[in-house]
Structure 1
Amino acid sequence: MKWSTLTSLALVARANAFLRFSCSQLVTERLDPLVNPGVPQSPHLHQVHLHQNAFNTTMDPRNDLPTMASCTSCTFSEDFSNYWTAVLYFRARNGSYKRIPQMGNHYLEQANGGITVYYIPPYDGKTKVTAFKPGFRMLVGDVNTRTKKNTPEARQMSFRCYDKGWKGEKDSTPPGGGTDTRELPNKVCTGGIRAHNYFPTCWDGKSLDSPDHKSHVAFPSSGTFESGGPCPSTHPVKLPQILFEVMWNTTEFNDKNLWPEDGSQPFVYSYGDAVGYGHHADYVFGWKGDSLQKAMDANCGVSCPQLKTQATQNANRCVQQPKVKEQIDGWLDSLPGGVQVT
């Protein structure tokens, strides 16, 4: 059984015991204050979700994000974290590129594209987790990976190909269905492609960050978070499991006459990855006060009375103008920043 399929079954089993919410798209631009702090143009394009004004070239971990942001693009109005991932493009047979639009996830279709975020407490419904602390940040995935690996981290990245319709058509694959792969699907996904990122769930209890943005966190030393696997002694503090889901609306490119003549997989990430193994995601914590800890202690579900919410229409209005001025839409001769496909 594939990793993401196993996780999906576990999520279905405890559908009322995890936070699941949408964050509309805040801005799409070449900035990365985590990996490339202070750099006015990061190497590749990102899509960013969450709070306005506080996302910048540099984000000082000492700053209190909720006090800096003027709005949040997420359902829960006490969440001022930042979530970002790379952008997906279609590469046509003539070599030109076009950005893939996003669409809302199932039951969250009113959101303006963006991302679906999960905060998942332990699946036994009893074990407690420690919420992230102000200034905490991490990333999962390796932008340079182009081959399939069988590491705990590599198994956290996957894609779901929706083979039929979407949004309730009569012949639609159910929301939890579709085909899962570790690489970008090499066939037409008539209902779109969903990308998944699962973050580490163990923390050393001391460092809010590390030079590689990974060493202060870890995966269970045996088993999985879903099976209640223990944390390693070096990282004894159990964290909530964070999951990002991004829905890519590839339906505009279902005509295989647009695909490369040899029928090869036509989608490529903004960092030049045409296989998907380098898929990665970044996280900067920014929940207000102890709101996330309260939600985790209460085993909050999709509906969480411990948290304040806002209308999706208000979340959609939280946008930010890009600081890096360049063309990212329409048919392009190359990926933004001149990134080469590797």
Structure 2
Amino acid sequence: MPRRSRTLTGLLLFTSLTLTTAGIAGIAATANASPEAPAAAAGAHTAHKAAYSMPGMPGMPASTRASGDDPDGDGYIMADPPVTGVTPSMEVPPPAYFHEFQAKCAPTHTAPDDPIVYPGQPGKSHDHTFMGNTTTNANTTTASLETGDTTCLAPGDKSGYWMPSLFDGDTKILPEGVQTIYYKSGVTDYRSVRPFPKGLRYVVGSPMQTQEEFKNLKGTVEGWECGDSFKNYNFPATCPDRQDVQLNLRLQAPSCWDGIHLDTPDHKSHMAYPVAGGANYNSCPADHPVALPMIEFKMAWPVNGDMSNVRLASGTGYSFHYDFMNGWDAATLDAMATHCIKGGLQCDPHGYDENHPGQGAVLDENYELP
């Protein structure tokens, strides 16, 4: 099979771009940055922002560096085999309010690396907080994820999850303990959702987005939240100064795949958000027909009170984005997706729905397949 048709791919990219644009062991929960850190972070962020721009496509990242998963460095990684002949489902499934499971993963480390946007270029990115796979760095590949360890409760989830680090002044603030990453159905017919293909990766949001773009991003849920304050699309000026108050954010990823690419030069065009196919009905668009799990980050940082010095390594609150690189054991992900998402259940990390105990659990007491 030829690596790609550049003409066809260009047309597909233009179309999909148009659609998609409209706890740690050994790390404390907070870490003081060195005196040189702000200047170094500023330089890395300038380089990172430059990479997120393609001619005629403002705010889109371009990566052209050869890497283990992309030997010719053109930014395209092809699915082998591709998924073809899929028509987005418009069927009405049995009523089910939930169709999800939770992954619980703790932060592992921080580094100015981004193996999706800057593969093989350590130190070129703004600082990221990594979760899940403990080995994720600038040189990470699909194969290296498989040999790594993980801070996720399920040993079968060796995925790499990362986001810009959060600072209060020059103090780096890390989420405490395990964080919740939901795997849901983004389409109405939850029975049509398939597991992620091996090697899939993408970026959700952009450090270049404006506040209005962040607000209108289809995956933005309630913006930044703290206490009773919701729908903040930049950091709120203050948060209640109470021990039980943290800064929270939820952001959903696109869940419709083109079936062809595991990555594209902008790290977005191979994915799309579901579209409205009728009253209270969401389905995948025809050019991204394959329904995959919808990831939803639910992050919490232990910071409150005066928020005037709170910032991301990527800049403002509305520059928040995150990266995902699939490292799931295929059998484990398939079992969780089939039982919980396609089964219309609300599962914990064991794949168990306490409201439907008779359905049993997918994983054992060690979060592994029995």
With normalisation by structure 1, the TM-score equals: 0.67
| 1:268 matched residue in structure 2 | 311
- Structure 2 Cα separation of the partners of residues 280 and 245 of structure 1: 12
> Does 2:120 align with 1:47?
no
Structure 2 stretches of 5 or more lacking a match?
Answer: 1-95, 352-360
- Structure 1 Cα separation of the partners of residues 137 and 221 of structure 2: 28
- Structure 1 Cα separation of the partners of residues 267 and 133 of structure 2: 21
| 2:236 matched residue in structure 1 | 185
Contact 2:257 2:290 in 1 (8 A): yes
| 1:247 matched residue in structure 2 | 300
- Structure 2 Cα separation of the partners of residues 39 and 310 of structure 1: 36
- The alignment partner of 1:38 has SS state of coil
- Which amino acid counterpart does residue 183 of structure 1 have in structure 2? N
> Does 2:321 align with 1:280?
yes
| 1:102 matched residue in structure 2 | 175
Bigger relative contact order (CA 8 A; separation at least 6): 1
| 1:162 matched residue in structure 2 | 227
Distance 1:284 1:151, change over 3 A: same
Distance 1:246 1:25, change over 3 A: same
Match of 1:306 among 340, 357, 362: 362
Distance 1:227 1:73, change over 3 A: farther
Q: Deviations over 1:173-199 (max 9, x none)?
A: xxxxx5232322222243111122210
Superposition deviation, residue 154 in structure 1: 6.3
> Does 2:109 align with 1:27?
yes
| 2:272 matched residue in structure 1 | 218
Contact 1:161 1:180 in 2 (8 A): no
Superposition deviation, residue 64 in structure 1: 6.3
| 1:57 matched residue in structure 2 | 138
- Which amino acid counterpart does residue 172 of structure 2 have in structure 1? R
Structure 1 stretches of 5 or more lacking a match?
Answer: 1-12, 92-96, 104-111, 164-177, 260-264, 312-342
- Which amino acid counterpart does residue 200 of structure 1 have in structure 2? P
- Structure 1 Cα separation of the partners of residues 233 and 254 of structure 2: 18
Contact 1:152 1:219 in 2 (8 A): no
Q: Deviations over 1:82-121 (max 9, x none)?
A: 1011111123xxxxx2222423xxxxxxxx2x53111113
Distance 1:227 1:278, change over 3 A: farther
Superposition deviation, residue 159 in structure 1: 1.5
Bigger helix share: 2
| 2:261 matched residue in structure 1 | 207
| 2:338 matched residue in structure 1 | 297
| 1:10 matched residue in structure 2 | none
Q: Supply the RMSD in Å over aligned alpha carbons.
A: 2.6
Contact 1:141 1:153 in 2 (8 A): no
Match of 2:209 among 121, 134, 145: 145
- Which amino acid counterpart does residue 272 of structure 1 have in structure 2? G
- Structure 1 Cα separation of the partners of residues 325 and 197 of structure 2: 10
| 1:333 matched residue in structure 2 | none
Q: Percent identity?
A: 27
- Structure 2 Cα separation of the partners of residues 222 and 124 of structure 1: 10
> Does 2:188 align with 1:132?
no
- Which amino acid counterpart does residue 339 of structure 2 have in structure 1? A
Superposition deviation, residue 21 in structure 1: 3.2
- Aligned runs of 1:13-24 on 2, under 5 Å? 14=97, 17-24=99-106
| 2:162 matched residue in structure 1 | 84
Distance 1:281 1:306, change over 3 A: same
Distance 1:309 1:38, change over 3 A: farther
Distance 1:289 1:25, change over 3 A: same
Contact 2:133 2:150 in 1 (8 A): yes
Distance 1:233 1:124, change over 3 A: closer
- The alignment partner of 1:283 has SS state of strand
- Which amino acid counterpart does residue 58 of structure 1 have in structure 2? N
Superposition deviation, residue 277 in structure 1: 1.5
Distance 1:14 1:64, change over 3 A: farther
Superposition deviation, residue 247 in structure 1: 0.5
Distance 1:234 1:126, change over 3 A: closer
Q: Deviations over 1:286-305 (max 9, x none)?
A: 11122212211112511412
Q: Deviations over 1:292-331 (max 9, x none)?
A: 12211112511412235648xxxxxxxxxxxxxxxxxxxx
Contact 1:78 1:308 in 2 (8 A): no
| 1:328 matched residue in structure 2 | none
Contact 2:173 2:301 in 1 (8 A): yes
Bigger strand share: 2
